[in-house]
Amino acid sequence: MAQRKRLSLEQQLYISQCREKWEKVAISTKSIDRQDITQTIQSAYQLISTQQPEIIFFSSPLAMIQQVNNWLENDLIFEAETKLGDLFNELYQETEDALIEQLGEDIYEDIIAKLVRPIEFHGTEIWRGIATTFNQKNRLLWNSLVNDWTDITEIDASYASLLDFYFSVLNCQRSKPQIWQIYHNLILSCGWSLLGKKYCLICEKPQIITWDERRLLHGEGKPAIEFSDGFSIYAYHQIILPEKYGKVHPSQWQPAWLLTETNYQVRKALIQGIGYQRISQELPLIELDRLPISLNSYTEYTYFQELNYNPKVSIQYTLFKIDSQVCQEPIILLLITDYNTCQKGLLEVSSALINIQ
């Protein structure tokens, strides 16, 4: 088949439109339509010649865990998920091969770069964050349920954008139209689902998802994710927080919390939210070193990226240690001072940075 040399301007515009369409699906907080979902699930099970399951709807992940907590292991076999996944993967591979044949490698790679990259939904962080809110028994069950599920919404939406472009924009023939239709409807209507041998579990979408300016999960004194039954996830610039911190506005966070908090990521959020001025006023800091910065390794450079600093400008670092016998391990803080703007940033670093020259 002759290769097309280029996409039309209209087709190029549709690339961004397809991505925007499916990104909105991935982060949608619109309530699911249970009738539509039931029809889609029934069609999916017919496609793989599997007995129809009992479809159970849940208002939140917590509600789902509470329901399945005492189920037998045989009840938690999600073979339908695997069978459908194999069909969807075959469809995607066939689509990739057809695109290369019709458009050529260069155009294909350009389309892939624009369409098939993770939707900025951060599913992994959400599901891991949800796990931290459960007790130990529920956490183990939850981890087993979502072991291969953490990124499903953003990955599927990303793949769907490519398939949608191929079928709807390029008007290519569909060798397996029923598979694409079911894939399309599952992602569009179901939100989060687990398709099992006996049961199909459907979880309602969150009512609220909030972000910061960098598209990271973020809420100040309020949930970053909230479900209709009140189950909530707190986050500070993508770092999942315990409720005891998350429900308090960062302006009210206490420096003394750093002394007893053992989770490094949570301490990182607390340090960023509290800031150098309050920490230096309320905690005893011992200055360890003060030198103009020289970034000699990728590790050192990444610390500055976290605070959005440009290492090429005039910067000085100061290393501090929190002087407290309460801390279970030393807490080393790096103060970054930008002489051009007088801006200061603070973050916790490894004790290895004490030896930076």
The mean predicted confidence, pLDDT, of the chain is 80
In a domain, 2, yes or no: no
CB of 108 closer than 8 Å to CB of 99: yes
pLDDT of residue 137: 61
Mean pLDDT, rounded, for 324-339 = 79
**Is residue 147 scored above 70 in pLDDT?**
no
pLDDT at 305 over 90: no
* Helix, strand and coil in the chain, % to nearest 5: 50, 15, 35
Q: Do 200 and 99 belong to one domain? A: yes
Q: Which of 3-12, 97-106, 134-143 has the lowest mean pLDDT?
A: 134-143
Residues 332 and 284 in one domain: yes
Of 17-31, 241-255, 300-314, 336-350, give the lowest mean pLDDT range.
300-314
Whether the pLDDT of residue 300 is over 50: the answer is no
Indicate whether 244 and 269 sit together in one domain: no
Same domain for 179 and 282: no
Q: Could you tell me if residue 4 is inside a domain?
A: no
Mean pLDDT over 195-207 rounds to: 88
**pLDDT tens digits, 81-121:** 788 888 888 888 888 888 888 888 888 888 888 887 655 55
Q: Which domain holds residue 217?
A: 209-248
How many distinct structural domains can be found in the chain? Answer: 3
What average pLDDT does range 16-25 have in this prediction? 85
CB 223 within 8 A of CB 232: yes
DSSP three-state, residue 275: coil
34 shares a domain with 158: yes
- Predicted pLDDT of residue 150: 45
262 and 224 together in one domain: no
Helices in the chain by DSSP H: which ranges? 9-26, 34-47, 61-68, 79-103, 105-115, 123-132, 136-145, 152-164, 177-190, 243-246, 257-260, 264-274, 276-282, 298-306
Kindly state whether residues 37 and 171 are assigned to the same domain.
Answer: yes
How far is 308 from 315, CA to CA, in rounded Å?
Answer: 13
Whether the pTM exceeds 0.75: the reply is yes
More confident residue, 119 or 32: 32
In a domain, 214, yes or no: yes
| DSSP bridge pairs for 289 | 319
Say whether both 261 and 287 belong to one domain: yes
Integer-rounded Cα Rg, in Å, for the chain is 25
pLDDT at 156 over 60: yes
So what's the pLDDT on residue 151? 45
Residue 277 lies in a domain: yes
- Which range among 183-197, 213-227, 287-301 shows the weakest confidence by mean pLDDT? 287-301
Most confident of 134-143, 145-154, 169-178, 295-304: 169-178
For residues 270 and 329, what is the distance between their CA atoms, to the nearest angstrom?
A: 17
74 and 107 share one domain: yes
Say which DSSP state 217 is in.
Answer: B
**Confidence band, pLDDT 50/70/90 cuts, at residue 146:** low
Comparing 230 with 149, the larger pLDDT belongs to 230
> Minimal CA–CA distance to 57: which of 147, 191, 152, 156?
191
| Cα 180 from Cα 265, distance rounded (Å) | 41
221 lies in a domain? Answer: yes
When comparing pLDDT for 317 and 164, which is higher? 164
Q: Is residue 195 situated within a structural domain? A: yes
Residue 109, CA distances (Å) to 12, 13, 88, 106 in order? 14, 16, 21, 5
221 has pLDDT over 80: yes
- 346 inside domain: yes
Instruction: Find out whether 334 and 319 touch, Cβ atoms under 8 Å.
Output: yes
Residue-wise pLDDT for 35-78, tens only, equals 999 999 999 999 999 999 999 999 988 888 788 777 766 666 67
Whether 3 is in a domain gets the answer no
Say whether both 57 and 112 belong to one domain. yes
* pLDDT recorded at residue 124: 61
Residues 40, 117: one domain? yes
Specify the higher pLDDT residue, 290 or 4. Answer: 290
- 167 and 281 belong to one structural domain: no
